[in-house]
Structure 1
Amino acid sequence: MADGTRRSNKVRYVFTDPCAKELFVDWADIASDSVAHLRAAAGHRPDDPELTALVAELHELSPEFRRLWPTRELRRKVSGRKEVNYPTAGRMSLDYEVLNAPQPPGQRLAAYTATPGTPSHSALSRLVK
């Protein structure tokens, strides 16, 4: 970014934060989906300097990213289910939906929910209190 700050980014988190491999039970699937989604975004915005910088950064910092990027898969996931192992709540099965935020461009918001009456719902409820 022009002012030297760096926006939070899920793909960066998946590939550069060791906690991601502990959080996402199915980390390999999350990593593959993340790369495929990033590649799709890069195809829509090939001249975006922030996107280009993110890809370069991940190439530099992550052997897993370097291995997955050449697969050339494209995928835009906007909903699904993730298994997470949250440090203070334990393992949860969460449904998610991704929404496009109007500003700033390219920003997306993920909403996570759990089925009422399940252990995942109870664990998620404890986190928001």
Structure 2
Amino acid sequence: MGSSPQARAEMRRQIHGFLSVRRARLTPRQAGLPAGTGHRRVTGLRREEVAALAGISVQYYIRLERGDATGVSETVLGSVSQALQLTAAEHEHLVELARTGDGTRPCRPALAGTGLRAPVRRILDAMTGIPAVVVDGRLDLVGANALGRALYEPMFAGGCAGANLARFLFGDPAARTFWRDWETVADDTVSRLRAEAGRNPCDHRLAGLARELAATSADFRDRWARHDVRVTASGVRRIHHPVVGELELPFETTPLAADPGQTLLMVTAEPGSPSEDALTMLAGWTATARTS
């Protein structure tokens, strides 16, 4: 069963936004084209220049950029990606959009309200030495172990409607204190939501969250309009925790294959570092609070 007409219409809008933004960002010099003469109305590439670089007709590229991906082959999508110098993640996003947009790829059913399975809960609870949480594609916090809940305590206590990473990040002033690298976290978060929206346009809860945040946060709205797509699977997060202070925590993420859309996020501290001491202090504080 293919995607719904509504989903295909949304994908056409996303294809248009994604390709037009990528084309506008790439200059002739970056694309290896001669500078030419005369005034250019656009700083980025013209549609005919992208078509020439991709080896397709101008009319064919215009149709694709307008969102009509009907019958577009993998070869053409690859050529367009190469012409626009897309990353691997961006190319995959374009393919996802095109295949859902032309109706050949069905939507993944939206898993609204899906909770944490009992085996995953037991695994989380057994991870006593490191903070660990599970988020879904919408970045709702589906579950957390005791140390994970303690680490992200401001997210639970911020008065937001539910524990959602994106809503906390863009809707709670405390987030800018909590995330010392707020700008980087904000970029990564919106890029992740963009990628998820491309994978599953039928997730109306995700679409609703994007509309909500775009209406209330200029920071989110600006980032959403960039159509950036990437998923940062590992790295370092710099946090100011209200109880234990400054932390620098390497993190790793892994998708839960049996639970589509859910991702396990784990953070650690370098052995012997002040952050390790702070995590140990936080674990002690958590144990005392639970006992009390």
Check whether TM > 0.5. Answer: yes
Say yes or no: does 1:12 pair with 2:145: no
1:127/1:112 CA distance change after superposition, 3 Å: same
Per the TM alignment, residue 102 of structure 1 is displaced from its structure 2 partner at its CA by 5.2
Indicate the SS of the match to 2:282.
Answer: helix
Distance in 2 between residues matched to 1:11 and 1:104, nearest whole Å? 21
Say yes or no: does 1:68 pair with 2:68: no
Equivalent runs, 1:1-129 vs 2, <5 Å: 8-101=163-256, 105-129=260-284
Distance in 1 between residues matched to 2:253 and 2:162, nearest whole Å? 18
Segments of 4+ in structure 1 off by > 4 A?
none
Distance in 2 between residues matched to 1:63 and 1:109, nearest whole Å? 29
Larger radius of gyration, structure 1 or 2?
2
Per the TM alignment, residue 107 of structure 1 is displaced from its structure 2 partner at its CA by 2.4
C-alpha distance after superposition, 1:44-63 (max 9, x if no partner): 11111111111111112211
Distance in 1 between residues matched to 2:256 and 2:177, nearest whole Å? 28
1:39/1:54 CA distance change after superposition, 3 Å: same
Distance in 2 between residues matched to 1:118 and 1:47, nearest whole Å? 45
Q: CA RMSD in A?
A: 1.8
Per the TM alignment, residue 108 of structure 1 is displaced from its structure 2 partner at its CA by 2.1
**Structure having greater relative contact order (Cα 8 Å, sep ≥ 6):** 1
Indicate the SS of the match to 2:231.
Answer: coil
Indicate the SS of the match to 1:111.
Answer: strand
Distance in 2 between residues matched to 1:90 and 1:81, nearest whole Å? 16
Indicate the SS of the match to 1:115.
Answer: coil
Distance in 2 between residues matched to 1:99 and 1:11, nearest whole Å? 19
Number of equivalent positions = 126
Indicate the SS of the match to 1:93.
Answer: strand
**Larger fraction in strand:** 1
Letter in 1 for 2:211: A
Gaps of 5+ in 2: 1-111, 114-160, 285-292
Per the TM alignment, residue 20 of structure 1 is displaced from its structure 2 partner at its CA by 0.9
Identity in percent: 37
Distance in 2 between residues matched to 1:17 and 1:88, nearest whole Å? 18
- After TM superposition, the score normalised by the length of structure 2 is 0.41
